[in-house]
Every structure is written in C-alpha cells, then in structure tokens.
Structure 1
Amino acid sequence: MEMFSAIRSSTLGITLFAVVTAALIAVTQVSTKERIAKNERDAQARALYEIVPKSTIDNDMLEDTVSFVAPELLGHDQPADAYLARKDGKVVAVILPVVAPDGYSGNINMIVGVKRDGSVAGVRVLAHKETPGLGDKVDLKKSGWILGLNNQRNDNDQRDSFAVLKDGGRFDQFTGATITPRAVVGATSRALDYFRTNKAALLEPAITGAE
C-alpha cells in the first residue's frame, strides 16, 4: 500500500508539474508572440516613415492601407497591404511590400515607396540573409547605397538603364558582390511596373474620398 501511495503521489506530482510547465510555456509563447509582433510593427513604422516622413503627410500609414495580390512582387499569391501616404486627403505615395527572390542567400524582404508621379520615393530592406560585409550593404544601417534609388524612374527611355552597372545600367554594384544589388534593383523596377499598371486601383480610395 505504501508503494502504491508513493507511486500515486509521484504520478500526481509529475502531472501537476507537466500542467504548470505547459501553462508557463503557453503564457511565454503568447507574450513573446505579442512582443515580436509589436517589435515588427515598430520596425515597419520606422521604415515607412523613413521613406515618407510623418511631418510631410497627415494620415497614419499603418492604418491606411489597400489590399492587393501580386505574386510577381511578393513571391506568393496571398493578399498583402500597400500603405498609403496622404496629404490633404490625396495619396501622394504608395509603399509596396516586395520580395526579391534572387538574393545571393535567399529572399530579400523590402518595401518600395512610389510617388504619385511614378518615381521612387525610397526603398528599405527589412530582412535578408546576405553576406556580412558584402551583400548586406543594401541595408541602410550598413551603407547609403540604397538611397541612390530615390527619385529614379524606369519608364520610357529610362527603362533599360534601370539596372546595375555590370548589366549596362546606372546603379553601382558592390565590389565583389553584384547579385544582391542586382536583386534589389530588379525588385524595385518590378514595383514601379506594378504601380504604373495598377495606379488607378491603388489611388482610387483617395480619389473617391476626396470628391
């Protein structure tokens, strides 16, 4: 009887420990998930407002979006949000999430801001796995290379030159690393193409709301 009592006590103890441990893990996962989501949102907000400074618009871009589906930009067929920058109710720029699938070490997640006139408002790399000291120079924290895309266009006679120098274009590549800047420039060009083709749909909320 003493043995059975000991076994029962041990079993109850182990069960209680397992329940408490599972509860702690669940609480930790939920709190961690919320913290990660907040950090991602904060990082996204910083990147958005680096492209379009908050002082130049009168809306909250994180709350002013339009859904779109573009596998050629995103690498999948799930809806994503384009962020709208408004001034006096009029959209002055659209910021598109973009995936460059042809980075040296895999996908490069970016956002590309496009002004109403179809030129680049700015580009920021949000996540990548490029080689430190080489391909990671597409990150603004590592170099100012990506600022060279500002105000550029790829329409009309400027299309062929929207490429890195090695491909006959106007954008510098990095010494010893051409694949990464080529991927970023190509993804930016596709974003400009998408905006130009879908301009009416992307800007329609502003037009409708203003009239």
Structure 2
Amino acid sequence: MSTEYTAARTSIRTALILTLFASLFTAAMALTYRYTKPDIDAAVAEVKRKLIAEVLAPDRYDNSLLTDTITVLAPVALGVEEGSVVYRARKNGEPVALIVEARAPDGYGGSIDLVVAVDADGRLTGVRATAHKETPGLGDYIDPRKDQNKTQPWIDQFVGRALDGGDKARWKVRKDGGEFDARAGATISARAVVAATARALAYADANQHRLFDAKTGERITAAVTAGAKP
C-alpha cells in the first residue's frame, strides 16, 4: 500500500469525522434553540412590557400591544435608519397612543435610543432612554435608572407636553432659551434628547391616522410632513 494511498485514506477519514462532529454540533444547537426560544421570547417580551409600562399605563389599553406593531421608515424624523417599530395602543378598538422608537444622533457619547409615547390628543405620556453611552455620573441622568433624583427624574418633565401650535422655540433646554431643564456640565445630553423627542412627537402627531390605520406588521413610509396635521 503506497504512502500516498494511506495519506488519502487518513485525510478522508479525518474529513468524515469532522463532518460528523459538525453535524452533531449543529443539530444540538438547533435542538437547544428550539427548546429555549420560547423562554427567550418570553423574557424579551417581558422586558418590553415593563419598558412600555413606564411610558404608558397598562390600564389605558386593552389590545395586544406587543403584536399590534408596524415598522416605519422615517430616518429624518425618528433618526433610526433601519426603521422604527411603532407600538399602537387601543382601547375598545379606539386609538389611545403610539409608542415610537426614536434616536438622537448627537448625544455627548454618541447616539441615544429612545421610546416616545404620544397619546391620541398629541400629548406625551412618557419618554425613556433605552440605550446610550453618555458619561456615567454626568450625562447619564437622562436614564431614570441612573438619575440620582429618584423622586423627580429629569426625563419625567416630558410628561403631558404637547407641540401647542408647533412653537419650536420652547423645545430647547433653558440654556438655549427653551423650557427644559438640564444638569450643569451635561447640557449636550439633555439637548439631544429634547430635540429628538420633539421630532418624534411632531412626527407621531402629524402621521397619527396613517400609523393607526396601517396593517399590523406592515413596513411603511409615512408620507405626511411632520408638524402638520393630516
């Protein structure tokens, strides 16, 4: 038996063994994923429910909020290039509020992801920062979990706010002549959140009817100009 033949058989045997192990590993991973996916999905859903409960009281709607969603392509208004998920709250079939994913691109440490809840009257019911890289102990007060003021978190000043005729001058931090507070030495973070929230509010208010009327799961580009009622 030649050396070449022996080497070839060894190579083939090794390849078959590696293929078998790869197949078994893939099958094991697929099986694990199959049996753990429901638990993972349930955990993700629970996190979303808790987050939404912070911006919109659960007793205000009776539909399945986590499934009554659409994806909106509006990067200029909402800042999310890949598309923003919009959750639609209803009660007895009537529109109650829109919970919109938005992004402020100009935070001190980079982009700041937000969820902005706007009720059917065009008023904010809550805003939350969901991801950011703001400086710990300084600019991260935009996140109520990091805000040292637990009785009156900075982010809660948005509750009840509306555009009121589109007066954009009010939608700035006080340092810039507006109505929103900011912590000393960390104005950039607040400025970014205020501006992004104003854009999201204007967009949701202007496009409210089309956003509520879109089919569940639809991916749309709302055509109405933000800031103008349809």
Same fold (TM over 0.5): yes
Q: Does 1:16 align with 2:20?
A: yes
Corresponding residue number in structure 2 for 1:7: 10
Distance 1:67 1:112 in 2: 15
Q: Distance in 2 between matches of 1:127 and 1:30?
A: 29
Superposed displacement of residue 92, structure 1: 2.0
Name the residue aligned to 1:192: 201
Q: Which has the higher helix share?
A: 1
In the alignment, which residue of structure 1 is the partner of 2:74? Answer: 70
Q: CA deviation at 1:73?
A: 3.2
Per-residue deviation at 1:79?
A: 4.7
Which residue does the alignment assign to 2:170?
161
Deviation at 1:188, TM superposition (A): 0.6
Query: Which blocks of at least 5 consecutive residues in structure 2 are unaligned?
Result: 148-152, 215-230
2:123 matched residue in structure 1: 119
Determine the C-alpha separation between the residues in 1 that align with 2:191 and 2:34: 39
Aligned pair count reads 205
Contact 1:103 1:180 in 2 (8 A): yes
Give the gaps of 5 or more residues in structure 1.
Answer: 206-211
Report the AA paired with residue 100 of structure 2: L
Q: TM-score, normalised by structure 1?
A: 0.79
CA RMSD of superposed structures (Å): 3.1
Question: What TM-score do you get using the length of structure 2 for normalisation?
Answer: 0.74
CA change 1:2–1:90 in 2 (3 A) is: same
Of 101, 107, 122, which aligns to 2:111? 107
CA distance in 2, matches of 1:58, 1:121: 17
Alpha-carbon distance in 2 for matches of 1:59, 1:12? 54
